[in-house]
Amino acid sequence: MSTTTQNLTGQSILAGASTEGNGRKVNGYNPATNERLEPAYSLINEQQLKLATAAAAEAFESFRSLEPSKHAEFLEAIAENIEAVGAELVARAMAETGLPEARLTGERGRTTGQLRLFAQVVRQGDQHGVRVDPALPERTPAPRVDIRQRKIPVGPVAVVGASNFPLAFSTAGGDTASALAAGCPVVFKAHNAHPGTSEIVGHAISKAVADFGLHPGVFSLVYGPGASIGQALVKDPVIKAVGFTGSRAGGTALMAAAAARPEPIPVYAEMSSINPVIFFEGALAQDPVAQAKAYLASVVGSSGQLCTAPGLVFVPTGAAGDAFARAVSGQAPETSGQTMLTEGIYNSWTAGVQALGSQDGVELLGRGTEGATENAPAPAIYTAGVEQLLANPVLQDEIFGAASLVIRYADAAQLQTALGRLEGQLTATLQLDDSDHEAAGQIIGTLETKVGRILVNGWPTGVEVGHAMVHGGPFPATSDPRTTSVGTLAIERFLRPIAYQNFPDALLPKPIAEDNPWKLTRRIDGVLQAKGE
Amino acid sequence: MSTTTQNLTGQSILAGASTEGNGRKVNGYNPATNERLEPAYSLINEQQLKLATAAAAEAFESFRSLEPSKHAEFLEAIAENIEAVGAELVARAMAETGLPEARLTGERGRTTGQLRLFAQVVRQGDQHGVRVDPALPERTPAPRVDIRQRKIPVGPVAVVGASNFPLAFSTAGGDTASALAAGCPVVFKAHNAHPGTSEIVGHAISKAVADFGLHPGVFSLVYGPGASIGQALVKDPVIKAVGFTGSRAGGTALMAAAAARPEPIPVYAEMSSINPVIFFEGALAQDPVAQAKAYLASVVGSSGQLCTAPGLVFVPTGAAGDAFARAVSGQAPETSGQTMLTEGIYNSWTAGVQALGSQDGVELLGRGTEGATENAPAPAIYTAGVEQLLANPVLQDEIFGAASLVIRYADAAQLQTALGRLEGQLTATLQLDDSDHEAAGQIIGTLETKVGRILVNGWPTGVEVGHAMVHGGPFPATSDPRTTSVGTLAIERFLRPIAYQNFPDALLPKPIAEDNPWKLTRRIDGVLQAKGE
């Protein structure tokens, strides 16, 4: 595999212009070989960052006023441009992340698919949230004047990219796509672990910006020194909201910076989750080997580097649970390590596993084998009882990578207690059959207060991008449980309502004009009208 | 007027039980006479506060599961109970606030009206936000399982009451009503300036809780030592969101406390706004004396103690603007001071007016006369140029009370510059006629980035409670411009989405069950369906 990709400049894209950074240079590395990848990327300083944020501020007024069809076509053009890159994009992403080709090809499809899905929403226009309370001139004791409401984008958005989805949660990923769909210019900070992948996608976005004649400040891609440029970006007064996917430490640092601004702004950080899976008795009547295989596949896929990987599995004590545990022990050696994203992540995983394995009452249940590449550790499954989980917060720490903990619970009361003590999570999964409905029904209420998504059977990895998806949940899963970072509801994170009172029709913005030229769904006096009425 | 109201206990209502506080006692005062009002109210300490928050946590599960009709009737019962108190409520509120009877009678109607409006929303059920992405078993490359989304309440909510609306933004005011409508138990901290009014309304709510057989933790009313009990309430881990109306200092203190929690939570604080009003040339062709009277009426109403009082008015230089300014000078002496809410607020107003009047380039334009009561200062109107406004941040400070600043602007460019430099505001108002449309059109885009509501003609005081209203805006007007604290959209502040993946129908919560027993509006595969389909 080539380690250099054609046409990469090693430069940031500041409002459409490839720009050499004034700071030091960094390279990507192939984590499968620890080989350095060219070109080196020059990091920008805070002064150069101002070029991006100032341009984003300038671009806001025209970008937020795009009519729906052009706005939607712009999002679709980004998707087309990404596809037009061809095999080079997946090859570069493989080299920079160690993720396998099938996974990255799928991820590219998810990335372009979500751009097109968001384009559908933009074309339909429901995100404008139009409400009309018509004038009531005869009302007593006082008449009512006409009041209309619509949502407008909040302003330029900073997006800090994730390491683990170099396409779907990176440059043109969910946060960028939803901010652009809302009408917000984006300043994107690339993850330094996949700079070339980021540049390729950045040019795909910038080409669409140029082809549609948009202000170049609609999108910038910046390479900067790790945390400090992220902090500078969040503190920039031009920026009105932040999207982030990454570690709990990284997310909480951005939350603190945003809260300390003269004008505090929202941070949408997706951070930390161990995604409890709960087995009920009835479910365990199935083939335990097949169940163990499905569990281990979910643990080791993408080397466990998924936000929704099942890090905590509750299994009842007793014969059926024992059979499952034995099956996990038996199948674990069949699993093989896969390359992790970076040497740093590999080292963190190793430290996390050592910490977990050394806790009182925690035992190794099964271990896979190391992979053939660098940074491909042997998957590790541990087990403990509810008592240990309740007594020791280390057992709730996320270990980012292929590791998981099986907790044996004695009865429904013990399970309820354990679930009630969990931190906020992205997901919880119930493994059940018809005979388990009553037991499952007793814990759903608790889970609703703890998570953003509850699954029945199946496994939480693999997040569908749709209208009903919630990829969110209470802290520390995210910084803001009122939102999702996957699915079309994500667009609403970057909108705010405005009321227009007693406006002459000539001055009303098009989305709320009396003759409804954009044919939007409207809520009139509290009642949703059929589309375009 | 009697200074004692029958049946007041001077006690907090902790989960339905009138409870003597373990702290010191405070009295309300009649600000018109500085006379002390009985009874004294005993303040609770943090240990007693735990009785309220623990009960709210216990009440959450059952309260959030109420079916729509009962939930709506509960809100309506609160309104009925408030009305059933009769004249005693308005009389006590008059004694505690110095506000006139007509204003308080109107405010009571607004309070009960918004409870009934929110009941309509609850009965209709659109706030559940149901989305269904049906299973696609034939989809390639991978099938899709059924995914459903609904919104659930965030959990127990702390509401810190305002001084300036002893009914509509206090015990059963907008924050309490919207939290209860969302399905969140409420722990309400009374404002110590109107403790008796708060207690009367608190019993009206508690009676409805009891009559409907709800868990008593659904509502508590606490009297506590000013800021410290508010801080304790916001820091309580049971509390999941905060509603607040008050000063910028108070609001930012609560925001900081909420952000510093182990689990940060949202604070919806409505704080500080000077509500710019912009006169265009055409509008000034009208009768300047009538315009000056309307302006002054908006400044002095409720002694200027309204969130949307017009504190900053832009008037063009030149003959027409001069005529308006002369009319303001001529009419100001006709205005008379009205009692302010407390001696402390009166003192703050006096200090604010002295500070504004002593700034370079600020001149007194007109002054009213003092009122006959205590704490009824003479309304004060100042004037300055755009240069002074741009150079001196003191000119943007809110002076809570009957004071306002007229800024003379030379041309469209100077107006645009001045508006671009304003902090976030609740409202902006355009005074215009047909000939001003072009000039107005040029600044609406700027105003949209600065405010939550834009009015044409009229005055910003008097906030309609409806579906389209936005009482919000960028910081420091509020802590969260994505929301409103008035109108039915306020309910959404206290909701969060959850996804249910691959659930058997038997385990689905009723709002998202396949047969749609609550007949809710649903978004199916991204498309809104007609009600109940």
The string of pLDDT tens digits covering residues B223-232 is 999 778 999 9
Residues within 8 A of B (CB atoms), A 244-273 only:
255-256, 259, 263-264, 266
The two structure tokens encoding residue B130: 């149901």
> Between chains, do B526 and A120 touch, taking CB under 8 Å as contact?
yes
Give the pLDDT mean for B3-27. 90
Three-class HEC string of B124-141: HCHHHCEEEECCECCCCC
* A522 touches B: beta carbon within 8 Å: no
> Residue A144: which pLDDT band, with cuts at 50, 70 and 90?
very high
Say what the ipTM of the complex is.
0.97
**CA nearest to A501 within chain B:** B455
> Residue A1: which pLDDT band, with cuts at 50, 70 and 90?
very low
Residues within 8 A of A (CB atoms), B 197-226 only:
none
Is the predicted pLDDT of residue A462 greater than 90, yes or no? Answer: no
> Residue A105: which pLDDT band, with cuts at 50, 70 and 90?
very high
| pLDDT for residue B85 | 97
Chain segment A466-519, per-residue pLDDT in tens: 999 999 999 999 999 999 999 999 999 999 999 999 999 999 999 999 999 999
Task: Nearest by CB to A453, from B451, B454, B498: name it.
Answer: B498
Closest CA relative to residue A112, chosen from A213, A201, A226: A201
**Residues of B whose CB is below 8 A from A62:** none
B10 φ, ψ (degrees, to nearest 5): 75, 20
> Residue B2: which pLDDT band, with cuts at 50, 70 and 90?
very low
> Between chains, do A263 and B149 touch, taking CB under 8 Å as contact?
no
> Residue A66: which pLDDT band, with cuts at 50, 70 and 90?
very high
In order, the DSSP letters of B297-310 are HHHHGGGG--TT--
B14 vs B56: CA distance, rounded Å: 10
Instruction: Enumerate the β-bridge partners of residue B279.
Output: B431
Give the N- to C-terminal CA distance of chain B in Å, as an integer: 57
Task: Nearest by CB to B488, from A264, A448, A526: name it.
Answer: A526
Out of A220-229, A305-314, B484-493, pick the least confident. A220-229
| pLDDT for residue B3 | 43
A471 φ, ψ (degrees, to nearest 5): -115, 85
Instruction: Enumerate the β-bridge partners of residue A25.
Output: A42
**Cβ neighbours of residue A216 under 8 Å, at least 6 residues apart?**
A15, A16, A17, A55, A59, A206, A209, A210
Chain segment A147-158, per-residue pLDDT in tens: 999 999 999 999
Element (H, E) at A446: helix A437-448
Task: Nearest by CB to B147, from A133, A266, A464: name it.
Answer: A464
> Between chains, do B499 and A452 touch, taking CB under 8 Å as contact?
yes
**Residues of A whose CB is below 8 A from B468:** 131-133, 147-149, 499, 523
Chain segment B114-171, per-residue pLDDT in tens: 999 999 999 999 999 999 999 999 998 899 999 999 999 999 999 999 999 999 999 9
| pLDDT for residue B98 | 95
**Residues of A whose CB is below 8 A from B488:** 526
Is the predicted pLDDT of residue B531 greater than 80, yes or no? Answer: no
Residue percentage of chain A with pLDDT more than 70: 98
In order, the DSSP letters of A504-529 are -GGGS-GGG-TT-TT---EEETTEEP
Task: Nearest by CB to B259, from A60, A259, A482: name it.
Answer: A259
Give the pLDDT mean for A13-30. 97
> Between chains, do A501 and B456 touch, taking CB under 8 Å as contact?
yes
| pLDDT for residue A533 | 56
**Cβ neighbours of residue A311 under 8 Å, at least 6 residues apart?**
A273, A274, A275, A398, A399, A403, A404, A405
| pLDDT for residue B7 | 86
Residues within 8 A of A (CB atoms), B 287-346 only:
none
Give the pLDDT mean for B78-83. 98
A493 φ, ψ (degrees, to nearest 5): -60, -25
Three-class HEC string of A361-374: CCEEEEECECCCCC
Chain segment B245-274, per-residue pLDDT in tens: 999 999 999 999 999 999 999 999 999 999
**CA nearest to A134 within chain B:** B468
Chain segment B315-333, per-residue pLDDT in tens: 999 999 999 999 999 999 9
CB B282 within 8 A of CB B293: no
A128 φ, ψ (degrees, to nearest 5): -70, -20
Is the predicted pLDDT of residue B22 greater than 90, yes or no? Answer: yes
Chain segment B451-508, per-residue pLDDT in tens: 999 999 999 998 999 999 999 999 999 999 999 999 999 999 999 999 999 999 999 9
Strands (E) across A286-362 are located at 312-316
Residues within 8 A of A (CB atoms), B 12-71 only:
60-61
Is the predicted pLDDT of residue A429 greater than 90, yes or no? Answer: yes
> Between chains, do A464 and B144 touch, taking CB under 8 Å as contact?
yes
> Residue A381: which pLDDT band, with cuts at 50, 70 and 90?
very high
> Residue A171: which pLDDT band, with cuts at 50, 70 and 90?
very high
Q: Is the bond into B517 cis (omega within 30 degrees of 0)?
A: no
A371 vs B168: CA distance, rounded Å: 66
* B133 touches A: beta carbon within 8 Å: yes
What is the distance of C-alpha B298 from the center of its chain?
A: 18
Residues within 8 A of A (CB atoms), B 482-511 only:
482-484, 488-489, 495-504, 506-507, 509
Residues within 8 A of B (CB atoms), A 457-476 only:
457-458, 462, 464, 466-470, 472, 474-476
* B434 touches A: beta carbon within 8 Å: yes
Considering chain B, what is the average pLDDT of its residues?
Answer: 96
Is the predicted pLDDT of residue B404 greater than 90, yes or no? Answer: yes
| pLDDT for residue B1 | 38
A176 vs A494: CA distance, rounded Å: 11
Q: Determine whether A105 is exposed, middle or buried from the number of CB atoms within 10 Å of its CB (0-12, 13-18, 19+).
A: middle
B341 vs B346: CA distance, rounded Å: 8
Chain B nearest-CA distance from A490, in A, is 11
**Residues of A whose CB is below 8 A from B467:** 131, 133, 149, 523, 525-526
| pLDDT for residue A47 | 95
**Residues of B whose CB is below 8 A from A259:** 255-256, 259
| pLDDT for residue B141 | 86
Looking at this protein, which amino acid is placed at residue A26? V
**CA nearest to B423 within chain A:** A263
| pLDDT for residue A5 | 59
pTM of the model as a whole = 0.97
Chain segment A322-347, per-residue pLDDT in tens: 999 999 999 999 999 999 999 999 99
Is the predicted pLDDT of residue B338 greater than 70, yes or no? Answer: yes
Give the pLDDT mean for B40-55. 97
The two structure tokens encoding residue A239: 């920026």
**Cβ neighbours of residue B197 under 8 Å, at least 6 residues apart?**
B89, B92, B93, B96, B97, B166, B167, B170, B171
Closest CA relative to residue A246, chosen from A307, A174, A190: A307
Question: % helix / strand / coil in chain B, to the nearest 5?
Answer: 40, 20, 40
| pLDDT for residue A6 | 66
DSSP β-ladder status, B267-270 and B241-245: parallel
> Residue B276: which pLDDT band, with cuts at 50, 70 and 90?
very high
**Cβ neighbours of residue A13 under 8 Å, at least 6 residues apart?**
A19, A199, A202, A203, A206, A219, A220, A221, A222
Give the pLDDT mean for A28-42. 97
Candidate list A270, A343, A374, A423, residue with the active-site label: A270
> Between chains, do A144 and B499 touch, taking CB under 8 Å as contact?
no
**CA nearest to B132 within chain A:** A468
Give the relative orientation of helices A68-85 and A101-124 as an angle to the nearest 10 degrees: 170
CA separation (Å) from A338 to A159, A297, A441? 28, 12, 37
Q: Would you call A270 a catalytic residue per the annotation?
A: yes
* A435 touches B: beta carbon within 8 Å: no
Give the CB-side neighbour count of residue B442, counting CA atoms within 13 A.
12
Considering chain A, what is the average pLDDT of its residues?
Answer: 96
**Cβ neighbours of residue B116 under 8 Å, at least 6 residues apart?**
B75, B76, B79
Looking at this protein, which amino acid is placed at residue B167? L
What is the distance of C-alpha B306 from the center of its chain?
A: 10
Candidate list A263, A307, A343, A363, residue with the active-site label: A307
| pLDDT for residue B6 | 66
| pLDDT for residue A457 | 97
Chain segment A397-406, per-residue pLDDT in tens: 999 999 999 9
**CA nearest to A473 within chain B:** B498
> Between chains, do A453 and B132 touch, taking CB under 8 Å as contact?
no
| pLDDT for residue A463 | 93
Is the predicted pLDDT of residue A3 greater than 50, yes or no? Answer: no
How many CB atoms are located within 10 Å of the residue A160 CB? 26
**CA nearest to B133 within chain A:** A468
Q: Is the bond into B481 cis (omega within 30 degrees of 0)?
A: no
B440 vs B314: CA distance, rounded Å: 13
